[in-house]
Structure 1
Amino acid sequence: MDLKFSLCILFAGIGLLRYVYSERHHLLFVYTVLSKPEGVSGPVFSAVCVYDDRSISHYSNEEHSWKRDRLDAEIWRYTREPHESRDWFINLFNSLANCTSSRCEGLHTLQRRVGCEVEKHPDGAVMNVNALDEYGYDGEDFIFFNYDTMQWIEKSPNAKETKMKWDADRIFNHYLQLYLKDCMDWISTYNVSNNTPPVLHMFASAAPHDQSELNLTCLATGFYPKHIEMKITLNNITVQPFSSSGVRPIDNQTFQMRTSVKMHRDEKQGYECHVLHSGQTFTTLWAGSLGSRSHHWAALAAGALAIEVLYIMSLIYKNRRFNGQMKRSSSTTECENITSRSADPLTASDLDENNELLLHKPELLDLLRSATIQTLVFLICLPVVHHKDGLHVPCSTVHCIILRVSEELLAIHQETPLLKTPEHMEAALGSN
């Protein structure tokens, strides 16, 4: 019994190592047809080719051909687009949705994913490789192709007729099998060289319902490709997470993932975050401080908003100086104003660096009050916002506030003509 148990543990450990120390890649062509609203002729067609979640080509409806977004000769040396044309796919959609050439009853969608995927060891040895060609209709699985048996397997009762028709087309199925084999041969030998490692952060926040607990979060961001494994340990023992965001895309075509665990407030040592990505392990140690990241962002927010407030106050000061000079100048004659301009304190030094002098506007006072209120509200709400939405929200909030102030300043500038040159000054003084 002990021997069997030991062998089970051994094989389980080997299987776990094979799963953890592996990397996955895929090459997929994704087709989508969507029926248009009534009165608009023809459905909407789109197709894109993705390698490891990055678009490398797309179908141009205007030119009726594929356009390669990534001109990597190695990728396209043995890969090619599926033989089925846009018209073939649209005809299939019209048949399933009972559409005519001009209209469809209701909203329907047809999707197809065809390609291959591979799982490798870090040294490049292939662990597993699969081919797939599957269809979905109206958001549900419809039918898929079995590569080994060259048979179609229906996933919906409505797919039985399609299965019988496609099973009978042996030439088409043989071609599809050859196409998928080429895909698997290529993806098994192609080596990715543009891996981007993750950047790790660990931070803690107070648990909302238990003052004795903290929520400890590990954030991995900026990594590519998508597949990643993450865990938080305490003294080398894995802690079960209570929350995980899963892998999510970022706008720079990389990914991020966040995992959180509960911990006692007094346990501030021994916590680590371990991430496995593309066969490499990355580790970071929690420093043990609470809310340091929130304080960091609060300081940045306060500094940025303080600059905005000082800028507004400087505008008010300049406008008051200008108004005072205007009043003194209006008590003299036009000739005296012009001849004494060189000796008067109101000279080019009163202009800003861009030779622009803003007229005093009452809206600046309201803007100053608004910016002050926004600063106080933001600093009060910062811990709550940080705890709820994560690391990047405080920075975005600061940008929103600064953008709001800048937009209001721009509106004031556009409403008020600027005195840019001595000629403008002379005209303004003379008008009084």
Structure 2
Amino acid sequence: MMKSLFLLLLLCHVSSPVKHSLKFLYTGSSGIQNLPELVIVALVDDVQAGYCNSNKTIEIHQEVWKKLFKDKPVLMELFTQQCFDTLPKLFKSTLDKIMQHFNQTEGVHILQVMEGCELDEQTGETVFSQYGYDGEDFMSFDLKMRTWILLKPEADVIQQEWEADKARIENHVYFLTQNYSEWLRKAGNYGENFLLRTVPPSVSLLQKSPSSPVSCHATGFYPDRATMFWRKDGQELHEDVDHGEILPNHDGTFQMRVDLNISSVKHEDWSRYDCVFQLYGVKDTITKLYEAPINVVCVSGRPFNHIIGVAVALMLLPVCITALFWRKKKKNIGSQWRLEDCSDVSLKSKQQFF
């Protein structure tokens, strides 16, 4: 189990093609020692804005987000009273019911919810609500039809129970349509310069041995809309190339890598290869020429880039735990979501979440 968690940590990244987004990731769990029963993470444009858990830990990042949380009492309440008390009880109750339905009495089980609002200049504003259980899609909410869409056939009994509770559905609709749009616009107004900034990366070529693949590694860039590739004689390569995921750094920037297998490349041909990094919104590209084998600095026998990767994964544990299945199902989920217009109505408590 722990091995799978670490693999997911290293691959974890929630990415969005829209211009601005506000996402709340809720993770309720059972059977995992030293992990809070509930973790809530708020992401603005995929940058962590806030974090809280049922152990009464709360973190608000960046001054613009602190201003947003201070200006919106209910948002602060979500990260204090409800995160510490109300929602953990509701998540545990729902998790127990699902476990009972699947005849599960023990072991590690995780219930996740991803909700929020996205803003695109072409398509406008949309909200979404997606549920997952034990790393698989579970149910999504169709706001227009006010109904639950079954994504896991075995959960039909749970779906029928949720469908029968009309009051809960209306409360869910009420919360979805009254907050996210306003919070996203406020976040954009408060942090426009922060959100629209571009930060170039530091790009390095790393290689464990002369015969091992060459890793072109870029880190410290923002936003996460970037591409990186290897070329030979100015032409992009597609064979013998391994593209890694874009991963978040603890400071809100991102990192990525792309590996090139050079085992069959002759010494005299090294200069024909280069790595190119391109960042969205920036005209200039960064190019690194492969000239000779580069030895990676090792610490206690481990490659330097491996140490960095594990360290980053550990620092991002709270965020990545909340995205155990969103990455794996990203393409499928995208086609299944039913996204509806956000609207502004008065506020209601997130206690009606379930």
Counterpart residue type for residue 48 of structure 1: I
The number of aligned residues is 267
**Are the equivalent residues in 2 in contact too, given 1:108–1:137 (CA < 8 A)?**
no
Q: CA deviation at 1:49?
A: 2.2
Give 1:93-242 correspondences, 5 Å limit: 93-98=95-100, 105-118=105-118, 120=120, 125=121, 127=123, 129-181=125-177, 182-187=179-184, 190-191=187-188, 192=191, 193-194=193-194, 195=197, 197-203=199-205, 205=207, 208=211, 215-234=213-232, 236-240=234-238, 242=241
CA displacement 1:68-116 (0-9 Å, x = unmatched): 52462235645733987322222112222239xxxx8311423222322
Q: CA deviation at 1:61?
A: 3.9
Residue 37 of structure 2 aligns to a residue whose secondary structure is strand
**Are the equivalent residues in 1 in contact too, given 2:28–2:88 (CA < 8 A)?**
no
Aligned equivalent of 2:245:
246
Find 2:91's aligned residue among 89, 98, 103.
89
Residue 245 of structure 2 aligns to a residue whose secondary structure is coil
Counterpart residue type for residue 37 of structure 2: F
Q: CA deviation at 1:392?
A: 6.8
Counterpart-to-counterpart distance in 2, 1:167 and 1:29: 23
**CA root-mean-square deviation:** 4.1
**Are the equivalent residues in 2 in contact too, given 1:60–1:67 (CA < 8 A)?**
no
**Are the equivalent residues in 2 in contact too, given 1:245–1:257 (CA < 8 A)?**
yes
Counterpart-to-counterpart distance in 2, 1:390 and 1:163: 45
Structure 1, unpaired ranges of 5+: 1-19, 38-42, 210-214, 302-377, 397-432
Counterpart-to-counterpart distance in 2, 1:97 and 1:256: 37
Aligned equivalent of 1:47:
39
Q: CA deviation at 1:164?
A: 1.6
Counterpart residue type for residue 275 of structure 1: Q
Aligned equivalent of 2:278:
275
Which structure dedicates a bigger proportion of its chain to helix? 1
Give 1:324-335 correspondences, 5 Å limit: none
Greater C-alpha Rg: 1
Q: CA deviation at 1:216?
A: 4.6
CA displacement 1:212-234 (0-9 Å, x = unmatched): xxx55321102345443323344
Aligned pair in 2 of structure 1 residues 390, 248: CA closer, same or farther (>3 Å)?
Answer: same
CA displacement 1:248-307 (0-9 Å, x = unmatched): 344545431101235644151573412224x3355222244213x539x59xx9xxxxxx
Residue 166 of structure 1 aligns to a residue whose secondary structure is helix
Aligned pair in 2 of structure 1 residues 174, 22: CA closer, same or farther (>3 Å)?
Answer: closer
Aligned equivalent of 2:291:
289
Counterpart-to-counterpart distance in 2, 1:74 and 1:45: 26
Q: CA deviation at 1:177?
A: 2.4
Residue 27 of structure 1 aligns to a residue whose secondary structure is strand
Q: CA deviation at 1:152?
A: 0.5
Task: Report runs of 4+ in structure 1 exceeding 6 Å deviation.
Answer: none
**Are the equivalent residues in 1 in contact too, given 2:118–2:125 (CA < 8 A)?**
yes
**Worse-superposed segment, 164-173 or 260-269:** 260-269
Aligned pair in 2 of structure 1 residues 77, 160: CA closer, same or farther (>3 Å)?
Answer: farther
Aligned equivalent of 2:255:
256
Counterpart-to-counterpart distance in 1, 2:167 and 2:138: 22
**Are the equivalent residues in 2 in contact too, given 1:246–1:257 (CA < 8 A)?**
yes
TM-score, length of structure 2 as denominator length: 0.60
Aligned equivalent of 1:69:
60
Identity of aligned residues (%): 16
Q: CA deviation at 1:54?
A: 1.7
Q: CA deviation at 1:33?
A: 2.4
Counterpart-to-counterpart distance in 2, 1:89 and 1:30: 9
Counterpart residue type for residue 57 of structure 1: Y
- Higher RCO, 1 or 2 (CA under 8 Å, sep at least 6)? 2
Structure 2, unpaired ranges of 5+: 1-15, 312-354
Q: CA deviation at 1:58?
A: 0.8
**Are the equivalent residues in 1 in contact too, given 2:215–2:257 (CA < 8 A)?**
yes
Aligned pair in 2 of structure 1 residues 46, 271: CA closer, same or farther (>3 Å)?
Answer: same
Counterpart-to-counterpart distance in 2, 1:183 and 1:273: 38
Q: CA deviation at 1:154?
A: 1.7
Residue 132 of structure 2 aligns to a residue whose secondary structure is strand
Counterpart-to-counterpart distance in 2, 1:222 and 1:118: 25
